[in-house]
Amino acid sequence: MATLESSGVARSYFGTDGVRGIVGEFLTPELVERLGKASALWAKGGRVFVGRDTRASGEELEEAFARGVASAGGVAVLAGVVPTPAVALLRLDLGVVISASHNPPEYNGVKFFDRDGRKLSDAVEEEIEALLDAPAPGGGEVDRIDVAVDSYLEHVLERFGSDLSGMRIAVDCANGAYAGIAPRAFARLGAEVEAIGDLPDGTNINVGCGATDLAALQELVRGGGFDLGVAFDGDGDRMLAVDHSGEVVDGDQIVAVLALELGVELVAVTTMTNLGFHRLMEERDVRVVTTDVGDRYVLEALYREGGVLGGEQSGHVICLRDHVTGDGLAAALLLCKAVRGTSLAEAASVMERYPQAKLDLPRAARGPLPQSLLDAVDRVNVELDGGGRVLVRPSGTEPVVRILAEAQTKEESEALCGRIAELVREELG
């Protein structure tokens, strides 16, 4: 299963992180079954480890994917509800997660890991798409296991855990795959834990909770005398934090704290990463590799450069020491160890955050943005001459265009964001 360079062919179904969409519209059981078949054909049969998050649609789509694998002569090993990083660790010939990660409950998706626990390249995704309508030889089967969570938890506690006795930690599980798992992990390490977002019902994943909405966690921490709070997204590959006063600590700051704690010589981040992070790393002689947005591009850079630490502002934090992908729980445990004896607020203050303004504009079409728009954005960045920057990109997971503007003051960043939004509207019509 060699990894090839991308042919440049536009993928019709795969986005930034697998195939994702609203269930019953873009994402249907029929498409998921075809993906199961195509991926098993690409892997030449073999065993496919399959997990899912807590969405109501997950079980039906898991069954559809398994049918597809079996139709291609493969063996689907169904683990039920497990976090995405557990699938990466426990993968077989393939690892697959039925999840839409941080998206709302009406979304779902299919995310893939190869036999080494790495996310698939663009080229491999193109090869899988080319097999969606291929004939299926049949002859496969479906197995079920119930030990995946315990195996995963033992690995993370052993490799990333430390003594947390005396710490009081609030944990928001996003009503997702970490419900019941993450609070148990912190408690086993000696922390006093209070959990929210730990009662998934199939319809409440990422709703008013988790890494995409920190308000409930902030309120809990402000009134409860906690050392810090941590929040995961629905499938567990993102983690954000709040300090003892309820102030948000984003992925850039978490990676900065861990870079200094672990003493790394290189970090990989994305184009969204704050200028303050780059300046801190420059001061500390840490080389920064910048990638396109998407944790798989950060992973590719780390593997290519021999690094172990990277991440995204959105909360993907990757430590490849004893792991193969980003892991929200592992990152949270490392962060707790790093701030023990001080405070998260003090540890995070080492990085100055430059004001950023962000905006998502709806867009019906998928695919690349017009070159005329990209050229216009480039002209604005040249005009700014280092005094700020703008970034415009299509989302790989939702039908929107994402705008980021960064400047010396909040007012300047907001004005710049508004200016670019008008430019995008004009170019896209």
Q: Is 293 helix (H, G, I), strand (E, B) or coil?
A: coil
Catalytic site includes residue 7: no
* Neighbouring C-alpha atoms within 13 Å toward the C-beta of 310: 34
Number of other CB atoms surrounding residue 235 within 10 Å: 34
Handedness of CA 290, 293, 295, 299 (dihedral sign): negative
Q: Is 153 helix (H, G, I), strand (E, B) or coil?
A: helix
CA separation, residue 43 to residues 189, 262, 338 (Å): 39, 37, 40
The DSSP 8-state label assigned to residue 1 in this structure reads -
Beta-strand ranges (E) seen in 163-237 are 168-172, 192-196, 228-232
Q: Is 223 helix (H, G, I), strand (E, B) or coil?
A: helix
Helices (H) and strands (E) in the chain, counts: 14, 19
Task: Identify which of 233, 209, 247 has the alpha carbon closest to the alpha carbon of residue 316.
Answer: 233
Is residue 54 within 8 Å of 82, Cβ to Cβ? no
DSSP bridge pairs for 390: 405
**What are the φ/ψ torsions at residue 91 (nearest 5 degrees)?**
-55, 160
Is residue 75 within 8 Å of 101, Cβ to Cβ? no
- Rounded to an integer, what distance in angstroms lies between the CA atom of residue 337 and that of residue 358? 32
Q: Which of 39, 57, 71, 101 is catalytic?
A: 101
- Rounded to an integer, what distance in angstroms lies between the CA atom of residue 67 and that of residue 78? 11
- Rounded to an integer, what distance in angstroms lies between the CA atom of residue 83 and that of residue 97? 8
Is residue 9 within 8 Å of 123, Cβ to Cβ? no
- Rounded to an integer, what distance in angstroms lies between the CA atom of residue 314 and that of residue 240? 8
Is residue 133 within 8 Å of 42, Cβ to Cβ? no
Query: What element of type H or E holds 68?
Result: helix 58-71
Is residue 81 within 8 Å of 55, Cβ to Cβ? no
Q: Give the amino acid at 50.
A: V
Number of other CB atoms surrounding residue 281 within 10 Å: 22
Catalytically annotated residues? 101
